[in-house]
Structure 1
């Protein structure tokens, strides 16, 4: 037979926080800052995100496709990429651990670039 302490109730239990939903998704803020950095008209063609974790950190790996059109397309792309590695990003509860160019080119008179970014939850 099992006994139970009557004074040990639910309020006395320690609970772990849900690790799946800590903080907001950093991608929308990162996209907004990338668009401000590139200038108008820049189009986000698509994005993908997937969870990422190491022994000490958790975050997300993002792939971002941007398209630039018009007479200033190449200048916009160059403006975006100039100093991208050293750029400061404002992502409450997160930081950008890595951002890099995965590909770039020209298609149908538009200039495009594919970026890869790793955002980490800032404990």
Structure 2
């Protein structure tokens, strides 16, 4: 699937809300550390975009795109919960520059949660968003 400019900017907004890459990793890569459930310590949780879809959408008066984004967060439980709260609160400023679209609706749903030793958490989320063409 080809990534549209709107979806790419939406994914960048998600990354910015989550704080970017984790601040400290131990091991070869953050991805390898995450797969083992170890390695990312403190700082921002590791954010992995597992899957995304986009579907054209239209009503009688508007047209836009429905976006479905599957996200996994791995890290310190408190930091993971903070990022989830940020995503659920989704500020308007997070979506500036969506290539001729504006964010009309966003919903965040938790799909699964695993608590690890040492206060770490892996959390899978589904983010559904509707952008409307301006």
Structure 2 residue corresponding to 1:78, chosen from 73, 77, 85? 85
Structure 1 residue corresponding to 2:65, chosen from 60, 66, 81? 60
Alignment of 1:9-88 (within 5 A): 25-39=5-19, 40=21, 41-71=46-76, 72-81=79-88, 83-84=89-90, 86-88=91-93
| Structure 2: segments with no counterpart, 5+ residues | 22-45, 116-120
Shift of 1:70: 1.8
Indicate the RMSD between aligned Cα atoms, in angstroms: 1.9
Counterpart contact for 2:5–2:99, Cα < 8 Å: no
The residue matched to 2:75 in structure 1 has which SS?
A: coil
Structure 2 residue corresponding to 1:101, chosen from 104, 108, 118? 108
Counterpart contact for 1:77–1:111, Cα < 8 Å: no
User: Are the structure 2 counterparts of residues 87 and 118 from structure 1 closer, same or farther at C-alpha, using a change threshold of 3 Å?
Assistant: same
The residue matched to 2:61 in structure 1 has which SS?
A: coil
Query: Between Structure 1 and Structure 2, whose CA radius of gyration is higher?
Result: 1
Counterpart contact for 2:50–2:71, Cα < 8 Å: yes
| Structure 1: segments with no counterpart, 5+ residues | 1-23
The residue matched to 1:78 in structure 2 has which SS?
A: helix
More helix by share: 2
